[in-house]
Chains A and B, each alone.
Chain A
Amino acid sequence: MKKKLLCVFMAATMLLGMTACGGGSDDGNASGGSAASTENTADALGKTKITVYLGGDAADENQKIVDIYNEQSETTEVELVTLTEGSSGYEMLTVMYNAGNPPTVYFMEAGDVLKLTDKLMDVSSLEAVQYANAGTTEDVTVDGALYGVPANIQAYGLMYNKQVLADVMGADFDPQSITTREQLEDVFQKVQEAGIAPVAISPFDWNLGNHWFTQIYTGQSETAEERDAFVNGLKDGSSNLVENEVFNDYMDTFDLLMEYNYYKENPLETVADGNEKQAQLLSTGQTAFWFHGNWATVNIRTLDETGEYGFIPVPVGEGNPNAGKICTLVPGYYCVEKSTTTEAQQQAAMEFVNWLIMSEEGQQYVIDCGNIPAYSNNTAEITESVSQSAVSYTAEGKNFPMYVKTPSDHATNVGSAMQKYLAGESDRAALAEEISVYWATQK
């Protein structure tokens, strides 16, 4: 009996081995599979099956919106998938492409979308596109083709706890009156005298490298061309960082934040943690300010359901085009896959994306996830004070877009240089030098 079993198994292994060897020669191109097999794309009821990756932290909301769609759609069945490996999901997407099995619709950052353009549908024909806010589609437009539609908007700046400021500065204090470094330092001092740490700096590389440092790129000019020119100058060595006015302007403000940092004793204390530590400091009133963005609402609301929070712009010099503005970014775009999908799936995917933006349920979904809508036709009411504060800036055009045309290892490299500066291991000249060297290696 044992012998027989063994023989069967061995024969099977050999057979598998032979078929594998026989087919192993056509390895010329790199993509794993071609079009998805048709039997998988439609179920018994004739519904078209698509898979969707929606990104973000709100797992329950994601499932809910997909369930709503499946309930009402007669032609499409949507399955939710997750890409948890890696922060942006891009690494996992690479693997899935190699397996010939990427999601039909996926959420990706602008930089990653640009690497995928030859695999993506042009979605400019979607009805929703006309409602997209100004400045939210340019980053993923190449030669007139649009490779994704913005999912939502996020904003960052100096977040404050309204109650703490009211306690220290008086109930009628308007945080928006802080526009210069001197005024900020004045408030910081008063907060400190009240026994509260004025500000918290999250020491993560993505926060320092991408959120703080890219302000220096955007601060170079009002126009996208001149910003690009500055960054290109960093690559070829023609832009001088250490003598750059905007660089020094932003670093002066950074020095001020460092001086009044909650973590002044050990600035990298929470470097290995998530942002929940600082969310806790802000929501429990242990600090008054925090350089961060509205995505932290999730953490804050776990601890404090009712408190009011808002943004003020990072104070910089008067000549700085970013002065008086908060930074906004599109965290991700919904893209429609075309290289492995059938036409029916592409059609279904386009319909789903459009529904996600245009329908009442889809508009509410953006709000429920704690995000800010990226479309002018979104009429859902914003109840979150952090988002309300952000919208009060964007409605008046007091926002500048985050610079996203950075390589994917920008956060790691520029972020570590900033961490050294924050920890006092390097000075401004060394920081400028390290970042210049990084850019010089980029082609």
Chain B
Amino acid sequence: MKKSAVIKKICFYVVFILLLLLFLYPFYLVLLNSLKTNKEVILDSLALPQALNFEGYQKAFEKMNYLQSFGNSLIVTSLSIFLLVIIAAMCAYLFARKNWKINNIIFMVMVASMIIPFQTIMIPIVKNFSAFDLTDNLFAVVFFYLGAHVSLAVFMYHGFIKNIPYELEEAARIDGCGQLGILFRIIFPMLKPITSTIVILDVLAIWNDFLLPFILLYKNSLKTLPLMTYSFVGQYSTDYSLVTAGLVLTILPIIILYLFLQKQIIEGVSQGAIK
């Protein structure tokens, strides 16, 4: 019994460490090549750098207007997520608790809308937004993300709220709590696990999104980080050392953010399990 447990343990670590290498190898390659000169990259992309070369980072930092684009991304992402979580939770709460026809219809429409290919609504969206002079406006981008991501968030909240026993609300109602009060005082705290999941998934989607900011933001001073990276990669596509350095600079903040959020999400998930 004990021996087989040890063997199991060894198998686990062997398999998972191999998997881990497979998963992380591409990142290692990007990091490695960002520290080489362009010539070194072209001649042998696997070799170690002859000397550490940080020139690419310095140039990429400047050319990408790094701090400003970082700030733009931060504003768009955090504002979108904050509003998204509130409106989606409210909507899902109503849909989960009231079995009205209109709720079911809208819910189905929302689910169906998740499979609309973005390319097909890209041109109409540009036309609609520009008709109201909403291009080159960070808040217009936020508005778009609310519309585009709300259906998935409602869908996820909906499934979760349905599993929360109705009796909990009854008690609060007897205590004289209004519906909004019930939602935000009683239900919302219980949604923490799914909220963390929604937050992390949407943070990633919005932070990394390229096509939408690309078609709505033209001024360099308003561009988000991935947008600057892509145009940077496009312009310097033949300079691999520069491109990889740009990629590392783009990925870095999200990795740091992720390490931070990962703790929250695991906490949230285990809290959900205790319930």
Contacts and interface: CB of A to CB of B under 8 A. Distances in A.
Interface string B196-237: 000000000000000100111010100000000011011111
Given A3-B180, A302-B42, A84 B128 contact: no
Interface in A319-360: none
A96 B215 CA distance: 7
Contact of A298 (B130, B131, B132, B238): B238
Chain A, interface residues (CB within 8 Å), range: 35 or more
B141 to A, nearest CB: 13
Contacts of B42: 276, 280, 302-303
Given A6-B86, A82-B231, A95-B122, A101 B131 contact: no
A101 B130 contact: yes
A99 B235 contact: no
Nearest to A279: B42
A81 interface: yes
A299 interface: yes
A24 interface: yes
Nearest to B122: A95
Nearest to A82: B231
A138 interface: no
Contacts of A82: 231, 234-235
A407 interface: no
A18 to B, nearest CB: 12
A96 B127 contact: no
Taking each of B86, B131, B214, B236, which has the highest tally of chain A beta carbons within 10 Å of its own beta carbon?
B131
A95 B215 contact: yes
A59 interface: yes
B34 interface: no
B80 interface: no
A96 B218 contact: yes
Overall SS of chain B's interface = helix
B184 A33 contact: no
A23 B131 contact: yes
Contacts of A98: 123, 126-127, 130
A26 B132 CA distance: 12
Contacts of A396: none
Contacts of B67: none
A59 B130 contact: no
B237 A99 contact: no
Nearest to B181: A3
A2 B127 CA distance: 35
Given A6-B86, A82-B231, A299-B238, A101 B218 contact: yes
Contacts of B116: none
B131 A32 contact: yes
Contacts of A79: 220
Contacts of B123: 94-95, 98
B37 to A, nearest CB: 10
A20 interface: yes
A59 B211 CA distance: 21
A99 B216 contact: yes
A265 interface: no
Contacts of B135: 99-101
A145 to B, nearest CB: 28
Contacts of B216: 99
Nearest to A58: B235
A313 B231 CA distance: 36
Interface in B90-132: 122-123, 126-132
Contact of B235 (A30, A84, A101, A276): A84
A82 B63 CA distance: 13
A280 B38 CA distance: 12
A19 interface: yes
A20 B132 contact: yes
Contacts of B38: 302
Interface in B53-70: 63
A81 to B, nearest CB: 7
Interface string A15-35: 010011001101100101100
B154 to A, nearest CB: 15
A24 B128 contact: yes
Interface string B233-264: 11111110000000000000000000000000
Contacts of A298: 238
A366 B193 CA distance: 58
Contacts of A274: 237-238
Contacts of B230: 84
A83 B244 CA distance: 21
A30 B230 CA distance: 29
Contacts of B11: none
B83 A9 contact: yes
A240 to B, nearest CB: 39
Nearest to A40: B136
B8 interface: no
A84 B63 CA distance: 15
B144 interface: no
A33 B63 CA distance: 31
A26 B131 CA distance: 9
A99 B133 CA distance: 9
Contacts of B274: none
A100 B130 contact: yes
A85 B214 contact: yes
B6 interface: no
A95 B126 contact: yes
A99 B231 contact: no
Contact of A57 (B129, B184, B214, B235): B235
Given A3-B180, A99-B126, A59 B235 contact: yes
Nearest to A98: B126
Contacts of A9: 83, 86
Contacts of A81: 218
B160 interface: no
A428 B83 CA distance: 61
9 contacts: A20-B132, A82-B234, A84-B235, A94-B123, A101-B218, A276-B238, A298-B238, A303-B42, A303-B43
Q: Which 10 A-B pairs have the closest CB atoms?
A: A84-B234, A59-B235, A32-B130, A99-B130, A98-B126, A82-B231, A95-B215, A99-B126, A84-B231, A99-B135
Given A32-B131, A33-B131, A96-B215, 14 more contacts: A2-B184, A20-B132, A24-B128, A30-B127, A32-B127, A59-B63, A79-B220, A84-B230, A98-B127, A99-B127, A101-B218, A280-B43, A302-B39, A302-B42
